[in-house]
Amino acid sequence: DGGITQSPKYLFRKEGQNVTLSCEQNLNHDAMYWYRQDPGQGLRLIYYSQIVNDFQKGDIAEGYSVSREKKESFPLTVTSAQKNPTAFYLCASSTLRQGGSGNQPQHFGDGTRLSIL
Amino acid sequence: AQSVTQPDIHITVSEGASLELRCNYSYGATPYLFWYVQSPGQGLQLLLKYFSGDTLVQGIKGFEAEFKRSQSSFNLRKPSVHWSDAAEYFCAVDFMDTGRRALTFGSGTRLQVQP
């Protein structure tokens, strides 16, 4: 079945440590996204990528980094510069509407919950 | 600036009662509009979408939404709520011409269903 796989489901980070969250999709979608979800704040966009080897900062990119070396994969690294990393992280993907304006609906993974030790 | 507002943080309804969840946006044109549902600890599932045309759109699980241009609203409705509808609901908007090639989400409405 096609879908988005996020791993691990739970992740713990020590102070000063970088951790990487995995996101893989087999939907052949061009665009991929990372969101952070905190209680009562909805989803906030961290980074997104519309094509391999290119990505853009979202609303809260500080303390995070991404790469897009393959169409199927969009890993997110939470660096030690992110002072409050405890959150639920969601990865999504979508096709792009023809003509480049607007997006088709996004498909979501089941998320990774990151906590600080 | 573009924004999405879900004014109700938490709503409780009785099973079998009707439901309406509100969503308003701030934008000078007609955007693309979406409603998603999230069960605890899970990702988001698309309920329905509006791109153009008929302003009343039907979705999965018996949900519908109506786009009202004059009110900049896209409210989600269901005639009779089931206990399994308890979840968090997110309105999302694609402000297409701003160069932001991603959705903007509201803060969500948590639905509780009483027996």
Cβ of A43 and B34 within 8 Å? no
The pLDDT tens digits for B51-80 are 888 999 999 999 999 999 999 999 999 999
Q: Which residues in chain B are closer than 8 Å to A8, comparing Cβ atoms?
A: none
Let me know how long chain B is.
115
The pLDDT tens digits for B10-21 are 999 999 999 999
Both tokens of B106, joined, read 């509201």
Q: What is the pLDDT of residue A28?
A: 93
- Please state the φ and ψ torsions of residue B60, each to the nearest 5 degrees: -85, 165
Cβ of A105 and B45 within 8 Å? no
B 76-115 residues inside an 8 A Cβ radius of A = 90, 92, 94, 96-97, 101-108
More confident residue, A96 or A48: A48
Between CA B56 and CA A2, with CA B60 as vertex, the angle to 5 degrees is 125
Q: How far is residue A75's CA from residue B41's CA, in Å, rounded to a whole number?
A: 20
Alpha carbon of A17: minimum distance to chain B alpha carbons (Å): 25
* Closest CB from A58, A111, A113 relative to B102: A58
Cβ of B103 and A106 within 8 Å? yes
Residue B91 has pLDDT above 80, yes or no: yes
Q: How far is residue A5's CA from residue A7's CA, in Å, rounded to a whole number?
A: 7
Between CA B20 and CA B26, with CA B21 as vertex, the angle to 5 degrees is 130
Q: What is the pLDDT of residue A3?
A: 94
The residue to which tokens 């939907």 are assigned: A27
Q: What is the pLDDT of residue A98?
A: 63
